[in-house]
Chains A and B, each alone.
Chain A
Amino acid sequence: MIENGLAEFIAEQAPLHASAHSAIMEWAARESGLRIRRADRRLIYIEIQGISTPFVDMNGPNSSLLARTLCGHIDRQRQIIRACGLAVPRYSVFRSSALHEAISYAEDIGWPVTIMPASLARDPGAATNLKDPAQLNAAWRAAWKAYADRDPGGRVMVEEYLAGEEFRFFVVGRQVAAVTKWSAGREQEHEVIEPTREIQKHVAEFALAAIGAMPGMAYGAIDLVVRDLSETNASREVWFKRIEVNVTRSVPLLLPSVQLSFAGAILRYYRHLADANRL
């Protein structure tokens, strides 16, 4: 019922009075009995333990602009994650004129490969499981078309294709707030899973370590590929795919329960900070 109420609230508020994700935060705050003041569509103040705490969409004071900037480019976030010793698929980025170099790189790392615009949201222009140069060629054009005029200097990333189960971890502070999973290439078909039972501990720790590797990132969504969940050796079987500080992109509106879990976890995180006099 709560979820139905949220859907109605979002429909009422967005997009004129509030962004959808700001509305989720507002709803979660109201449900928790917290006072709020809305400054504009995206900026609200939630009074947590008597402290007026600003949020832009779902991002509070501890989500840094630096982290958002770094996460805006998949190649950069991977560089940072890899520097912290976490497993990252082999990848390289290319300019629009470098199709032949991209094909040559794909042959070096081995087919199949995945390509995607390096500095866009996850869906537009991405293509996975490309098995030969012809498929890459077609996907290449789609990837650049996705950029359109938005980032003339953008790059397209070519990476090795990793088959396996894909997970999205919603991490807040040092806690996993929610986990969804989907089969390779079927990202729209999320399934909420129980974090503690169905996920090996080392996979969750990998997600927590990835959040910890990004400067100024209190919470976010981390995509991982797990080749074999029963495998206990994490270092070989868990791979980082991407991380997003702007969690609004990662909370599919199809899953209101995840949204509320995540928003609730964010509020609990800041309440905890306020209690510890660290807000």
Chain B
Amino acid sequence: MIPQRPSLDVCRVSAYESRPDASVRGRRNLRTLIVRAEGVVSDRRVAGWGEAVLREEDSTRQRWDSIEVALELLQGARIPLTPRRALGRISALLQSIVIPGQRESRGNDPRVPKEILVAFEVALLDLVAQASNSPVSAYIGGNRRTITALAYTVDAGARHRHRPADDPTYPTRRVVGLRSWDDAYAQVLGDGTGEHRSNQHSAIWLDLHGKLSVEDASRLVRALNEGRTSGEIAQRIILERPVAKRDLHHIAQLRPSDTRQAGSAERQGITIMIRPDRYPRRELDQLLDAGIGALHLSLHHLGGILPTLNLARYLGRKYPAVEVALSTGATGSAITAQALAALAAALPRIDHLVIPPAILHESTVGSPLKIADYQLTINDSPGLGTSVDLPTHLQQVRRHGRRPSAPQSKGSLQPNVFDHDVNLTKSFAKGDVDSYLLEQAALAYGLSSTRFTRHTFVSHHPKLTTPIGFFLTMSAGTGISSHAIAGDKEETRRCLRDAGLPVAEGDSFTPNEMDHAVRFAQRLGYPVVVKPQRGRQGIGVSTDLRTEDDVRQAFIRAATSAVGGSRGVIVERHILGADYRIMVVGGKVISAILRQPSHVVGDGASNIIDLVADKNVRRNRNPHLVKRPMKIGPEAISMLARQGLTEYSVPDPGQHIRLSGAGNMSRGGESVEVIQETHEGILELAVDALKSIRGLDHAGIDLFITDHRLPVDQQSVVICEINASPQITSHHFPHYGSSRQVSYELVRRSCSRSGFHVDSPAFNLDVEVEIFGKVQAVGYRDWFARIANEFSLSGYIRNLSSGSVKARVAGPAAPVAALVARAISGPRNAFPEYVNTKHISEPGLTENFEVRP
């Protein structure tokens, strides 16, 4: 019997596209793709990680299609574990990834970003290396244990100078962002501040990006040569891509002092460097033969570890004297950096290893490289030696794909999709959307507006006896004293109880009365709820507490909560039931939302992380939820543990897994609009609750109810909170159920209180917007016009001699109002003080939005 060779079965592959990790600073137009591959070898499960950093424009549907194809192809693949066979199999698998409908392989198809392939390749290499209990570096044939030929990149064109701690004195200093030959020369001489004296480095590597003319490049080389002759410049100089590709045949002119000594590692003078991924193999050979002395291998541009290794081995054999520099070629986190280090350990020669700046810092993605005393120690644990804190990373996930994919569930309720509104509100902070919706309603009802801040505006109309206005969602009908009562849960309960309304039995305690609180909980009977007296958004709230120890821990959490705990802690009976938010405006219920606590429902194939990722992808299509992702934080981990699960457990089909005790959207809850089916008695109860606090014209009433369809007397109902400043976005954009235009009701009600009974709202607006403050000579008009065109609005914007800026904007009410609401923010250097918007109806508009002088 022939013994079976060991192999690994890839059983699960997942891809998560997200905003970049916090360590990738200042690159907001990037997306991170994290790939996780799981495999089974001899009944042992292992997981490998890969990463790519995509440009925003790469994140198109078609790009995602290619990721889906890769997932499909790799899931179920069998990979032998013998290194040579494994590497061959991985290369073959990756080469077979093509975009659907395209015949060409990846090498010929420019629409498959190589970065995507790198992510999958690194994940598979990490996987097979772990399965073989070998570091990736050793698995691909590397035998270096340490690397000292380190290089660090600084951007000469960056607006903000790097801090000295960010610019370690590695042997090689690489400078990018150079604009001219004298700029480059100045970098070699040192910037004169004493912080980054170039003579601390043994080599200066100037990446000129092909920006110089042949004349300027020659001038630079001459100047550098003279500096070296005079002794002013002691370092070796590497000029990367000094001239454009088409001018490289002038290379001989550019290397007057390149005193190469074949076979010697000691080099002097000036060396020209190119990137081999930009040339076909034959042309590359010609250039190397013509005297190019160094090559810059870029992991991402060459398409991964294996293609880079193959090229380096070929060059090592044919051109052993050519210097080799290695970089990731893209901003990346620790996964990319570890892959780079593993590759560097395996290259035939390595003269400059560019350490990406981001990985010097702690990161939620992976663990940083081990660099001490300017020496990089190659990982010697199995695989890459790094992983992703996926539960934390999940909060940023925008797209998610996996194989095996989730089984299609039949008959389940589909969440609402508000892509258009997400687009309109994507630049707003959480609270800003409420204010935008209110201003939209005011403008649609024909009122003019003056916006002072992102949260505050006032509206006028000739028929109003008093202007109306909103601060957050609070109107002139939200009294100072009423707001104070609603902000204090104990005071609210007192008001409700005095009005004869049902409340949970409980009491409040000062933060140093924990023992009293515990005894009270015991008398009350478990389970109990512990919460800060003046908290909000569920912060510091613990529910379903069943032991003394639980109560003590919850008490400490509540008392030390960032919001409201210092004023006191409430202990009350835990009421079994669902969490509802009923919006009451002027004695009338406008919307009723069932707030389901954060949860997932098993499909028999997906683990909890994947199920949460799926939900976060759907939440991205809801303006209210897009910035409130589901999280697998300490609370979820604790809830899972209570259910005997971990985040990697695969629940049974239909199994309901709860991840939070509270229904707040900010804690991963989901909203279901249910007003149509809510029993009249419950709605009346909510109205009575509003009336129990004097001076509150509208509020969000929070109740615990067993079943909203049943009468009050047939079930358990308690009112637990009254929110004087309720967010309204979840009513406009419920996860499930019909949208309720609460902002229109609030504006209508405010107008009515001021003696103006509005007609039906307009669908289209034509407004004149004047922005006051520092808004000229700061790029304000271009900024405004860019958004207006993005929203397909017509009109124009121009400067006024008074120093303000005036715009005319026409189009559908929602985008016009979104633009008007954003006008108070402005571009980076603008300081708008207030924005006046009034209706106008004059001819003379063109189709587009234009900037006028």
B-contacting residues of A (Cβ < 8 Å)?
Answer: 39, 42-43, 51-56, 59-70, 73, 75-76, 79-80, 83-84, 93, 95, 98, 155, 212-217, 245, 279
With A and B bound together, what is the CA distance between A116 and B288 in angstroms?
Answer: 71
Identify the closest chain B residue to A98 (Cβ): B774
Neighbour of A69 across the interface among B465, B471, B485, CB < 8 A: B471
Q: Which residues of chain A are near B480, meaning CB under 8 Å?
A: 56, 59, 63-65, 68, 245
Q: Would you mind naming 20 contact pairs between A and B with Cβ atoms under 8 Å apart? A: A42-B484, A43-B485, A54-B484, A56-B480, A60-B481, A61-B695, A61-B696, A63-B481, A64-B475, A65-B474, A65-B478, A65-B479, A66-B469, A66-B475, A80-B467, A95-B774, A98-B774, A212-B465, A212-B466, A216-B469
Contact B466 A51 (CB under 8 A): no
Q: Which residue of B lies closest to A56 (CB)?
A: B481
Closest Cβ of chain A: how far from B162's Cβ, in Å? 25
B475 and A216 form a contact (CB under 8 A): yes
- Taking a contact as CB atoms closer than 8 A, the residue among A55, A61, A64, A95 that contacts B474 in the complex is A64
Min Cβ gap B696→A in Å is 8
Inter-chain contact A52/B694, CB cutoff 8 Å: yes
Contact A61 B491 (CB under 8 A): no
Considering only CB atoms, which chain B residue lies closest to A54 in the complex?
Answer: B481
Render B681-694 as a binary contact track against A, CB cut-off 8 A, 1 for contact: 00000000000011
Q: Give the shortest distance, in Å, between B660 (CB) and chain A (any CB).
A: 30
CB neighbours of B396 from chain A (8 A):
none
Q: Which of B738-779 touch A at CB < 8 Å?
A: 754, 774
**Measured CA separation A216–B480 after assembly (Å):** 10
Chain B residue numbers with a CB within 8 Å of A42 are: 484
- Chain B residues within an 8 Å CB radius of A79: 450, 452, 834
Q: How far does the alpha carbon of A214 sit from the alpha carbon of B458 in the complex, in Å?
A: 9
**Given A60-B695, A63-B479, 19 extra CB contacts under 8 A:** A39-B491, A54-B694, A59-B481, A61-B695, A64-B476, A64-B479, A66-B470, A66-B478, A70-B452, A76-B834, A80-B458, A98-B774, A155-B833, A212-B465, A213-B467, A215-B467, A215-B754, A216-B475, A216-B478
Residues of chain B in range 477-528 having any CB-CB distance to chain A below 8 Å = 477-485, 491, 498
B834: chain A residues at CB < 8 Å are 76, 79
Contact in complex: B481, A93 (CB < 8 Å): no
For A66, list chain B residues within 8 Å (CB).
Answer: 456, 469-471, 474-476, 478
Closest to B469 in A: A215
B478 proximity list for chain A (CB < 8 A): 64-66, 216
- A61 x B476 contact (CB < 8 A): no
CB–CB B476/A56 < 8 A = no
CB B501 to nearest CB in A, in angstroms, measures 14
Instruction: Please give, as numbers and ranges, the residues of chain A lying within 8 Å of B477 by CB-CB distance.
Output: 64, 216
**Which residues from chain B contact A65 at a C-beta distance below 8 Å?**
471, 474, 478-480, 483, 724
Q: Tell me the nearest residue of chain A to B470, going by C-beta.
A: A66
Residues of B within 8 A of A245 (CB): 480
Contact B471 A62 (CB under 8 A): no
Give B705-745 as 1s and 0s: 1 = Cβ < 8 Å from A's Cβ atoms: 00000000000000000001000000000000000000000
Q: Which of A51, A61, A68, A75 contacts B833 (CB 8 A)?
A: A75
Look across to chain B and name the residue whose beta carbon is closest to the beta carbon of A76: B452
**Which applies to chain B's interface (DSSP): helix, strand, loop or mixed?**
mixed
A70: chain B residues at CB < 8 Å are 452, 456, 458, 469, 471
Contact yes or no, B465 A60, CB < 8 A: no
> Most B CB atoms within 10 A — which of A43, A56, A61, A68?
A61
Tell me if B831 counts as interface (CB < 8 A to partner A). yes
Cβ-closest 4 pairs across A and B? A61-B695, A216-B476, A54-B481, A61-B479
How far is B470's CA from A188's CA once the two chains are assembled, in angstroms?
34
Chain B residue nearest to A105 in the complex (CB): B803
What is the minimal beta-carbon distance from A189 to any residue of chain B, in angstroms?
A: 30
| B703 at interface, CB cutoff 8 A | no
Query: What residues of A have a CB within 8 angstroms of the CB of B754 in the complex?
Result: 215
Does B347 lie at the interface of the complex (its beta carbon under 8 Å from any beta carbon of A)?
no
Task: State the CA gap A216–B833 with chains docked (Å).
Answer: 23
Q: B400 at interface (Cβ–Cβ under 8 A)?
A: no
Closest-by-CB residue of B relative to A83 is B460
Flag if B695 contacts A54 (CB, 8 Å). yes
Interface residues of B toward A: which range?
35 or more
Smallest CB gap from A218: residue in B? B479
CA distance A195 to B63 in the complex (A): 76
Tell me which residues across on chain A come within 8 A of B460, comparing CB atoms. Answer: 83
Interface presence of B788 (CB below 8 A): no
Assess A83 versus B467: contact at CB under 8 Å? Given A61-B695, A65-B474, A69-B456.
yes
Residues of chain B within 8 A (CB-CB) of A215 are 458, 466-469, 475-476, 754
Please, which residues of chain A bring their CB within 8 A of the CB of B479? 54, 59-65
Chain A residues with CB under 8 A of B774:
95, 98
Bound-state Cα–Cα, A54 to B482, Å? 7
* Contact, CB under 8 Å: A43 / B491: yes
Flag B442-468 by CB within 8 Å of A: 1 or 0 each: 000000001010001010100001111
Q: How far does the Cβ of A82 sit from chain B's closest Cβ, in whole Å?
A: 10
Return chain B residues, CB-CB under 8 Å to A55.
Answer: 481
Q: Give the nearest-CB partner of A101 in chain B.
A: B774
| Chain A residues within an 8 Å CB radius of B450 | 79-80, 83
Cβ–Cβ contact A95 & B831, under 8 A:
yes
Cβ contacts under 8 Å, A213 to chain B:
466-467
Report the bound CA distance from A93 to B831 in whole Å: 11
Instruction: Kindly provide the distance from the CB of B714 to the nearest chain A CB, expressed in whole angstroms.
Output: 31
A59 to B694, CA, bound (A): 12
Could you say which of B460, B479, B831 has the most chain A C-beta atoms within 10 Å of its C-beta? Answer: B479
> In the assembled complex, how far is the CB of residue B555 from the closest CB belonging to chain A, in whole angstroms?
21
> In whole angstroms, what is the CA distance A56 to B478 when docked?
13
Chain B residue, CB-CB nearest to A84: B467
Q: Give CA–CA (A273, B748) in the complex, Å.
A: 23
Query: A216's closest neighbor in chain B, by CB?
Result: B476
Residues of B within 8 A of A39 (CB): 491
CB-defined contacts of B470 to chain A, threshold 8 Å: 66
Contact present for A62 and B458 (CB under 8 Å): no
Contact pick for B484, options A43, A52, A76, CB 8 Å: A43
Question: How far is A217 from B479 in the complex, measured between Cα atoms in Å?
Answer: 9
Q: Which residue of A lies closest to B498 (CB)?
A: A52
Q: Which residues of B contact A67 (CB under 8 A)?
A: 476
Cβ-closest chain B residue relative to A43? B484
Residues on A with C-beta less than 8 A from B694 are 51-54, 61, 279
Report the Cα distance A66→B97, complex, angstroms. 59
What CA separation (Å) do A279 and B697 show in the bound complex? 11
Are B467 and A61 in touch, CB under 8 angstroms? no
Smallest CB separation, A154 vs chain B (Å) = 12
Closest to A59 in B: B480
**Bound complex: CA A51 to CA B724 (Å):** 20
Closest chain A residue, CB of each to CB of B725: A65
Rounded to whole Å, the gap between the CB of A34 and the closest CB of chain B is: 15
* In the complex, residue of chain A having the shortest beta-carbon distance to the beta carbon of B499: A52
Task: List, in ascending order, chain A residues with CB within 8 A of B484's CB.
Answer: 42-43, 54, 56
Q: How far is the CB of B178 from chain A (nearest CB, A)?
A: 32
**B496 CB, nearest partner CB in chain A, Å:** 13
Smallest CB–CB gap between B458 and chain A, Å? 6
Residues of B within 8 A of A155 (CB): 833
Q: Which residues of A lie under 8 Å from residue B469 when comparing CB positions? A: 66, 70, 215-216
A76 to nearest B CB, angstroms?
5
For the complex, give the distance between the alpha carbons of A98 and B831 in Å: 12
How would residues 61 to 91 of chain B score, 1 for a CB under 8 Å from any chain A CB and 0 otherwise? 0000000000000000000000000000000
Min Cβ gap B670→A in Å is 30
CA A143 to CA B465, docked complex, whole Å: 36
Of residues 78 through 135 on chain B, the ones whose CB sits less than 8 Å from some CB of chain A are: none
- Distance of A91 from chain B, by nearest CB (Å): 11
Complex: A191 Cα to B653 Cα, angstroms: 80
- Distance (whole angstroms) from the CB of B669 to the closest CB of chain A: 27
Per-residue interface assignment for chain B, residues 596 to 608, with 1 indicating a CB less than 8 Å from any chain A CB and 0 otherwise: 0000000000000
Question: Which residues of the partner chain A approach B456 to less than 8 Å between Cβ atoms?
Answer: 66, 69-70, 76
Considering residues A52, A214, A216, which has the most beta carbons from chain B within 10 angstroms of its beta carbon?
Answer: A216
Query: Within the assembled complex, what's the spacing in Å between the Cα atoms of A214 and B471?
Result: 13
